[in-house]
Structure 1
Amino acid sequence: MATPEAKTAVEWLVSVAPDPDACRWEWERNPLGVVLLPAGRQWDVLILPGGLGQPTLEVLNLLIDRPGPVLADFGDTRLGFFVPPGTASRWLGTGVRGAGRGTWIVAPYPGRATGGVRWLVLPDGRGTLTDPVVLELAMHEAAARVAAREGRRP
């Protein structure tokens, strides 16, 4: 049984699908528990390597009450931060990939475990996204923390 939070997350996510009803139907019946959703409509996704993404999420959680949705792939080798549409096309950052207009992301069903990609921060259903400026500041702080742990200068 899906929680109310998961249900509102589902509704928000499927709203970008070309056919939301078909997307919801597939999602609920797909044994992998994932669907492809188009980026660039209500959100873009900035994809960070896990070694930077995890500490960035930790810093974000210190800076703001609630970041926007965050996905992690199998083994947390990459984290995807949901940001406003158009961000991916303007983002300049070494090692950061962007999924924006014309691209698709793999999204797991909110609140359900899958064998691969999973939500670290569920969508709230209201459209909360991470501000790219705050994300960039968190990335800089996270990079400095990682460098300090490794005994090198940032």
Structure 2
Amino acid sequence: MISTASELAGWLAEMSGDRERVFDDWRASGCGMAMLPAGTSWDAVRFSEASGYRAYVDLLHAVGPIGPMLWDSRCRQVYFLTSPGWSDLLRSAKVRVVSRGGWLAVPDPRRHVGRFAWILGSPEKRLTCPGRLYLSAVQARSAAPGDGECPSGTAGCVSPWVSVATRYQMKRIF
């Protein structure tokens, strides 16, 4: 069960295949980041912030766990961790997939790392189902334009992720 930042850190390090290197990188890095290889234990599926929010809400109504998500508040993107091997299907939904041969810069969940926040969708030590994520991505793309997005050029617009934690009791870890 993943319910704390330390549990998430341990799980991510185990999934990398080199637990000690990940913890060493997090300690040695001045910015608290480590590079984790994608494509063996997990793939990372990147959404725009608004599309990711809509996909998350759709996943809430589906059966199955939602794996850890990484929110980049500055670039306004969210990454869902999913089972590897589905990259072609997911790319057909017009989302970016970091898979075999790719790397993801991952902040240490145990410390505040500026613009990044880990979000736990469900406490199980499982990844988001790629087939269900694909359906949610398609649904998010067909949502009404501007649904959950800031009007173009609007300064200081609040991210939909800021309020979703309260509305859906989502756990945010810094």
TM-score for the superposition, normalised by structure 2: 0.70
Letter in 1 for 2:141: A
CA deviation profile, 1:114-145 (whole Å, cap 9, x unmatched): 1133212278573x111112112222333333
Runs of 4+ in structure 1 off by over 4 angstroms are 122-125
Is the deviation greater in 116-125 or in 4-13?
116-125
Q: Matched residues, percent identical?
A: 25
TM-score for the superposition, normalised by structure 1: 0.78
Matches within 5 A, 1:5-154: 5-17=4-16, 19-64=18-63, 66-75=65-74, 77-93=76-92, 95-121=94-120, 124=123, 126=125, 128-147=126-145, 149=147
Partner of 2:151: none
Distance 1:35 1:123, change over 3 A: farther
CA contact (8 A) 1:48 1:97 kept: yes
Q: What is the count of residue pairs matched by the alignment? A: 147
Q: Secondary structure of the residue that 2:11 maps to in structure 1?
A: helix
CA contact (8 A) 2:65 2:127 kept: no
- Please list every run of 5 or more consecutive structure 2 residues that lacks an aligned counterpart in the other structure: 149-174
- Please list every run of 5 or more consecutive structure 1 residues that lacks an aligned counterpart in the other structure: none
Q: Could you tell me how far apart the structure 2 residues matched to 1:14 and 1:125 are?
A: 16
Is the deviation greater in 82-91 or in 140-149?
140-149
Give 1 or 2: higher helix fraction: 1
CA contact (8 A) 2:64 2:129 kept: no
